[in-house]
Every structure is written in structure tokens, then in C-alpha cells.
Amino acid sequence: MTPSELTSLLARGEDSRHQFKRNATNADGLAAELAAFANSGGGWLFLGVNDDGSIAGLNAADIRRLNQLLGNSASQHVRPPLHPLSENVQTDQGIVMVVEVPDGLAKPYLDNQGRIWVKQGADKRHVTSREEMQRMFQRAALLYADVVPVAGTSVEDIDDKAFSAYFDRRYGASGEFSGLTREQLLQNLGLGDGRELNLTGLMLFGRNPQRWRPAFEVKAVAFPGKVLHDTRYLDSEDIKDALLEQFRGAFAFIKRNLHHVQRGRGFNTPGELEIPEIALEELLVNALIHRDYFTSASVRVMVFVDRVEIVSPGHLPDSLSPEDIRQGKTIRRNPTLTEHASHILPYRGMGSGIPRALEAWPQIDLVDDPAGNQFSAVIWRAKAEWSVDTAAPQVTGEVTGEVTGGVTGEVKRLAEAMQGEMKRSEIQAALGLKHEDHFRESYLRPALDAGVIEMTIPDKPRSSRQKYRLTALGQALLKAGQEKRE
């Protein structure tokens, strides 16, 4: 790492992947920091850096002491031991020790007192809830929610018609299963333990699965406006039963609360759904299959005048990010459920669902919310002022040529929300976004990179008086959208 690269990293401030420390003297304290990183996807610890990102610097004696402290902390104060990498970067203010902690492969990592630490924003916290511990064992492939037996269930709770139709369609007259009792058959297919159904068996083939797991349903609401706290609603439904019926019911709810458009068809034709059905289908199935079943909460479907939100309990597992899943990367949170559901629901697997939805309808925001322990897909409904195609618009006037640099739907919406010079918090509020990290990563930075907006104090990017305004390019983009409306 070069000094300039270091300076650039420090200028961004602390977050869940980057922690600053002036110094370290206590092995237990350092061990807790290392364990938190290893339990939360990995990260970098910068020693010799003040909390505000300024370099305090270390001398040669500090480096020798810290190397010994780091080795002792990682090998003797964390269980199982960790193997961090360190690099010393020489700056004008002194040496900065950069410690890289990889994402742990043997989670959960504990300190000497048996405590589990995880990152929470730029800080760390002690894990105490049983559900969160279960999720950590799940990430370590030691426990999966979808194969946990559901106490009190039995083979009598299976919907025999649904199960027989699935079995005949997939396995036919397979000799592998001939002569087996129903209990043995369910156990061999990974749907039970021979006595009780597991969660997969219950959610796919159970009769009235909400009798045992009442929260595992879909709650759907259609609002007349743009805000969640609106006391009015146009339509509401609690969708229960097995996952196939939940999918069908939720899909029907969304469709009846959206518009149909002609898109070049004849006036008397029924038209197409304003958002392509394949995009809604993929995102809804994704929420039902990949949700966190250790969390006792419902999948939520909300239809607003400007968007549809599908909210799935559980944030993205391990170090998976929204950008990763945009590219087709995946981690199976519920592998047994996924295996069977792929033959029941319209699910294709291999991480292809999200890219397929984005290809059909690019105006989708993917929002990971670790603090709220949920993942949301926000599907924006068509606006007259923006084209629904993915090509960058042409603008004319003082700024000519094709607008490049990632003019996404998010950047267009940010540009539309701008009113003169605005603070970051004002823009975020105008867009109705709650999470600052998501706003910065998906809206603010891409808009700056595309040259659509600019800082009013560019030489002091972290100034408390910093504001943003449209550039000539941004103004031309808005003008092009207005002309298209007219």
C-alpha cells in the first residue's frame, strides 16, 4: 500500500471494514477487534491513526511491540486462532501499521471470555441473542434453519396431494424409494428426521404451516402515497399456507395493484404490466427462498405510487454485498429448501435471478440493512420524465455527446430531487431514503462520478458546510428529460 492509497482510504472515515486506532496495549481488547472483523466479513485495522482519520504515526519501537501484541492476540486470545496480515506504511507523520483480517472460515470466533463479537457500523458489539448465534453457526455451515425439526409436527401434517404430485413429477417410479414408509421417504429426501418434519418439509408441503410458524407468511399492503407511515391503504392481505401458495398470492396481489400499459400495442389490447412480470417473479421467489428463517418475521410486500418494495427478513450473509448479487454471486442460506423449491417455484438458481430481474427492469435498488436485519428490493415504477431503457440519454446545448460514467436510475432520481445547493442530508430526505450508507453508495457517489453533481467546497470534501449542486451536465440531463415529456 502506498502512502497516497493510505491517505485516500483514511479520508473515507471508519466503517464496518475499516477501523482506526491510535495505538493498542491490551491483548484482550485487540483480540475483540480481530474477532469482530473475522465474524463480519473481514476488514482492515489501522494502527497509528486517530479517530478522525489523521495520522498520528508510530515509531520503530511501537512497531516491534505491536507485532508481538498482534501475534499473541491472534493466536492466544482468539478461539480458534486467527492469521491476520500486517503491512507497515511509512508516512511523513510516522509509520502506520495496516492489519488485514480475512473473513473467517471457522466462525464464530470467540475471545478468551467466550464472547462473540461482530461489527456494527464502525464499532463492534457483543452477540447475545440466540437467533444471531444460530445465524453465525449457519454461516459456518454448522447449522441451517431449513433442516431444523419443527417440534410437534409429524407425517400427518403433510399435504399428501401436494407432496405426491411433487414426488411423482420429480422422481416418478424410482426404485430407490420403493418400499419405504412415508416417514422414511421424508427422511431420505431431507424433509424430516423420521419423526418430525423439518422447516423445509413444513414450508413446502405442510398443511397450515403457520400453525407452528405463524410469522412465516407474506404481509402485503398497497398504499395511496409514497410513505410507509401512511394510515390509509388501498389493499391489504396476509398471505399464508405453503410457499407455493404464498408466491401465487403475493404475485397476484402485486399484479392487481399495478397498472397495465400498451407499450405500442393496439388501444383495445389488455396491455402489459407496467413492471415486467419476470422481474417481480424473480425478486419475490428470491425473498421466499433466501430469507433468514432463524428470524421470526414475515416477508413484506408494499406497493406505493412510485415503487414496489419486497422486504425479506435477514440481511445478506457473510461478506455478500448488493453489488455481488447484481453480478450473480450467491451463498445458499437454505440449501435443502432451495434444492426442493427449485422444482416447485419458478426458481432457476445459480445466482441468476437478480441479474435476470435487472436485465428485464434496471430500475431496481438492492438495499442490505444489517442493523435492521433485512434485505429489500425496491422496484421503481415507470416515470414519464425518465426513459425505461438502459441507454444513457443524449443531451444537447452547452454539453453535447452521450452522458457516460454510470447515469443509473438512482442518479437520475437524485438529479430530479436537486433544488439549488443542498446538503447531503437534505438530498437524502428529498429522496425518502433512510440509510445513509445506501444513499452514499448508490446515489451520491455515482452522481459525483458521473459528473451530474459537484461539491460546493471540493477542496474540503468532509466539511460540515459541504453542499452539492447540479453541474452543467446535470442540468442538461434534466432538460433532456423535460423535453422528452413535452
Task: Return the half-sphere exposure (C-beta side, CA atoms, 13 A cut-off) of residue 271.
Answer: 12
Place of cell 495496516: 98
- DSSP-derived letter for residue 424 is H
Task: Give Cα separations from 440 to 38, 425, 467 (angstroms).
Answer: 25, 10, 14
What phi-psi label fits residue 328: left (phi over 0), alpha (psi between -120 and 50 degrees) or beta? left
> How far is 147 from 149, CA to CA, in rounded Å?
6
Q: What's the pLDDT score for residue 173?
A: 67
| Sheet with strand 364-369: strands edge to edge | 235-239, 218-222, 299-303, 307-313, 374-380, 364-369
Instruction: Give, for all 486 residues of the chain, the pLDDT tens digit.
Output: 899 999 999 999 999 999 999 999 999 999 999 999 998 889 999 999 999 999 999 999 999 999 999 999 999 999 999 999 999 999 999 999 999 999 887 778 889 888 888 888 888 888 777 666 666 666 555 568 899 899 999 999 999 999 999 998 888 766 566 778 888 899 999 999 888 999 999 999 999 999 999 999 999 999 988 888 877 888 999 999 999 999 999 999 999 999 877 555 544 455 688 999 999 999 999 999 999 998 889 999 999 999 999 999 988 876 688 888 888 887 778 889 999 998 999 876 656 788 999 999 999 999 998 888 899 999 999 764 343 333 333 333 333 334 434 477 788 889 989 999 999 999 999 998 888 878 888 889 888 877 889 888 887 777 888 999 988 888 887 877 676 665
Q: What's the pLDDT score for residue 116?
A: 86
Q: What's the pLDDT score for residue 361?
A: 94
Reduced to 3 states (helix: H, G, I; strand: E, B; else coil), residue 394 is strand
pLDDT digits (tens, 9 = 90+) for 342-382: 899 987 665 678 899 999 999 999 999 888 889 999 999 97
Q: Closest Cα to residue 322, out of 368, 371, 369, 373?
A: 368
Reduced to 3 states (helix: H, G, I; strand: E, B; else coil), residue 210 is helix
All residues at 6 or more sequence positions from 450 whose CB lies less than 8 Å from its CB, including other chains: 403, 404, 405, 406, 407, 411, 473
Q: What's the pLDDT score for residue 392?
A: 34
> How far is 470 from 455, CA to CA, in rounded Å?
9
Q: What's the pLDDT score for residue 166?
A: 92
Domain 3-128 fold:
3.30.950
Q: Closest Cα to residue 330, out of 343, 341, 346, 318?
A: 318
H or E stretch at 21: strand 18-21
CATH 3.40.50 for domain 409-483, yes or no, is no
Measured between its terminal Cα atoms, the distance across the chain in Å is 52
Identical topology for domains 3-128 and 409-483: no
How do the domains of the chain map onto residue ranges? 3-128, 155-211, 218-380, 409-483
At 372, list the grid cell.
435492521
Q: What's the pLDDT score for residue 205?
A: 96
Task: Give Cα separations from 458 to 11, 441, 469 (angstroms).
Answer: 13, 18, 12
> With contact defined as beta carbons under 8 Å apart, do 91 and 55 qualify?
yes
At 115, list the grid cell.
464472547
Q: What's the pLDDT score for residue 67?
A: 94
| b/e code 175-209 from CB counts within 10 Å (16+ = b) | eeeeeeeeeebbbebbbbeeebbbbbbbbbbbeeb
Task: Give Cα separations from 469 to 52, 385, 419 (angstroms).
Answer: 26, 20, 8
DSSP string computed for 349-369: -TT-HHHHHHHH---EEEEEE
Q: What's the pLDDT score for residue 269?
A: 52
Beta-strand runs (E) in 34-160: 43-47, 78-79, 85-91, 94-101, 110-111, 117-120, 123-126
> How far is 259 from 273, CA to CA, in rounded Å?
6
Beta bridge partner(s), residue 87: 98
pTM greater than 0.75 (yes/no): no
> How far is 217 from 300, CA to CA, in rounded Å?
9
> How far is 479 from 209, CA to CA, in rounded Å?
54
- DSSP-derived letter for residue 79 is E
All residues at 6 or more sequence positions from 12 whose CB lies less than 8 Å from its CB, including other chains: 18, 53
CATH class of 218-380: alpha beta
SS3 annotation, 428-451? HHHHCCCCHHHHHHHHHHHHHHCC
Q: Please say whether the dihedral angle defined by the alpha carbons of residues 326, 331, 337 and 339, taken in this order, is positive or negative.
A: positive
> How far is 457 from 63, CA to CA, in rounded Å?
37
Beta bridge partner(s), residue 222: 235, 303
